[in-house]
Chain A
Amino acid sequence: MRRSRAEEFKEFAVGRSSALFRSACLLTSGDAYLAEDLTQETLGRVYTQWGRVSRADNPAGYAQTVLVRTFLTHQRRRSASERPLGELPDSAAPPGGDPALRVALLEALARLAPKDRAVVVLRYWEDRSVEETADAMSVSSAAVRTRSVRALAQLRDQLGGSIAEFAAS
């Protein structure tokens, strides 16, 4: 990588790392350590493609997609060793925010299957359409809809009306 391009990537990486890290925190249901790892791995993968990615329409969106794919690959590799439910690791807990909402939502997300969680994060955090979500996850739109319906039902069961209270607060 030539120097100018390396600098350009560094700028991109610093600029995008917060957004990637936040998505990663939701994907890992609050596992900040794993989220950091995923963010770094994602930046590493984008780095190797930077010559083309930097000229593509939307490098930021591309990086978010790589993040989701990296997460799913990681999940496949360690599918047998999911973190026990209900034990949220220390995350980079910020001052402010709504601790109760945060804990409830992350716990509910943790109970979803990883692919379902990825659908929820892409659809409701990144505001992607069903088609865009399908594209990012390399699955069909129908599969995204199925996962979406299932995940929403599960989240509604667990969060119920409480989420509306949080939202109103």
Chain B
Amino acid sequence: MPFEDDLGDAMRRTGDSFRPPDRSALATEGIRRGRRRLARRRAAAVTGGVLALAAVGLGGTYGGGLLGGADDAGRASSAAAADVPGTPTAPPADPDGSITGRQMLDTLKGLLPEGKITQEEGGGDGSAKPPPYASVVFDDGGGAAAIAVSLIALDPEGTSADGQVTCPSEALVPHDSCTAETLADGSRYLMFQGYEYPDRREETRHWRAALLTPKGVLVDASEYNAPAQKGAEVSRPAPPLTPQQMKALVTDEAWHPLMKELDEPQKEDPAPGAAGRDAVRDGLLGLLPENLEVKDKGGQDGFGFVVVEEKGDGKGASLIQINVQHGMGDVAGDLVSRADDVTTLPDGTKVMLDDDLGTPGRGTVGWTVDTLRTDGFRVVITAFNTGSQDKEATRAEPALTMEQLKTIALDDHWLSLR
């Protein structure tokens, strides 16, 4: 037997000889760590949904995109939609095997202008897990560029769908231009012109056109000024299709027969205990001191943010974000252990202060007040000395003091969301 076969055999025998001490305990500890990671990440950053489906398409299958963008890499592009409780309930698209990657590719190619097309990929048939998609590298003579399109069934009334056709705040996802409109047939349309990495650590431009039909089909097209989504050299100054061409691409009737093959989107459940997606944002707005002027605002279920400046002092923008969460009691120990200062109020509420949430290289600091009530209800607020976590510091200190943050986080207003 060749050595490789012997080795495979020996590996199997040896590997199979290990028995985990307690599977259930491993799982429980895994979940605890996951919750701790989630708690950390939610406190650090939550971003808009505009790039959340970017995992679909380029560079292979949905799964491949997942692997590429998982966890450590994906603060800007991946975290929000998957983590916010109650947001994306619908497994996108459950085609009954009738849409093939070939059809997707043929339709996409039929809608592109003159040019050379290579690296064709299409998929989404069969297993029903990845939504139907097609991606190609297109060169009109000006440089090779990746273009991808996917069809996804989404509850048109749901927050996931809404996030796909709503311009992200500049504070969360810096970009060059974004327009959102409602078309004559009731479809919602978004044209986003930004960057693959909102912090522009690579200069790859990402332009995205998304059409959400009243029936709940998202036609989602992206193009880049590079031949691949991640890591490839920029090949041209801008992506090949103009915004007008992108709009024509996603609104073309050629997609209609394929749309009909998609299953009905699953209805989205509202997040448990959520008082509507704007409740946290509006709560925060109502609690801000009067000397602050609101320049931008936004939010999702359980999350709200504002960008403020002090009236008439010109000290620069400050991002303030707040998360309201339930059932976080089991991570109390972790929250306490990483805080700089912990006090316990008479009613048992823990108040934890942390002043080093920022990006040292950019000179940003984030001051955090984290409050955890005895039933696991948590309100955590952070103020930055910048208007966007992807940008340099705009002022010496955040616009709110620790004391002011504490007052907001502990305000009785939040108890209505408890």
Is B415 an interface residue, CB under 8 A from the partner?
no
Residues of B within 8 A of A124 (CB): 4, 7-8, 11
Residues of A within 8 A of B82 (CB): 49-52
Is B314 an interface residue, CB under 8 A from the partner?
no
Q: Which residue of B lies closest to A25 (CB)?
A: B18
Q: Are A101 and B30 in contact (CB under 8 A)?
A: no
Q: Are A136 and B10 in contact (CB under 8 A)?
A: no
What total count of A-B pairs have CB within 8 Å? 189
Given A51-B83, A55-B129, A135-B67, check contact A18 B34 (CB 8 Å): no
Q: Which residue of A lies closest to B53 (CB)?
A: A52
A79 to B55, CA, bound (A): 32
Residues of B within 8 A of A41 (CB): 30, 33
Q: Are B30 and A1 in contact (CB under 8 A)?
A: no
Question: B-facing mask of A48-84, CB < 8 A → 1, else 0?
Answer: 1111110111100110011000000100000000000
Residues of A within 8 A of B14 (CB): 26, 97, 101-102, 105-106
Q: Are B30 and A44 in contact (CB under 8 A)?
A: yes
Residues of A within 8 A of B1 (CB): 164, 167
For chain A, the count of residues having a C-beta within 8 Å of the partner chain is 66
Q: Are A56 and B34 in contact (CB under 8 A)?
A: no
Q: Which residue of A lies closest to B18 (CB)?
A: A25
Q: Are A47 and B30 in contact (CB under 8 A)?
A: yes
Residues of A within 8 A of B16 (CB): 22, 97
Is B15 an interface residue, CB under 8 A from the partner?
yes
Flag the segment in B56-64, B171-179, B180-188, B401-409 that touches A: B56-64
Q: Nearest Cβ in chain B — how far from A110, in angstroms?
A: 12
Instruction: Among B12, B13, B32, B36, find the residue whose CB has the most chain A CB atoms closer than 10 A.
Output: B13
Is B243 an interface residue, CB under 8 A from the partner?
no
Which of A49, A57, A127 meets B130, CB within 8 Å?
A57
A120 to B91, CA, bound (A): 35
Which of A46, A52, A166 meets B10, CB within 8 Å?
A166
* Inter-chain pairs besides A44-B34, A51-B81, A92-B20, 18 sampled, C-beta below 8 Å: A6-B31, A13-B26, A13-B31, A14-B27, A17-B27, A23-B15, A41-B30, A48-B37, A48-B71, A49-B78, A56-B62, A57-B130, A65-B67, A91-B18, A92-B21, A102-B14, A121-B11, A159-B7
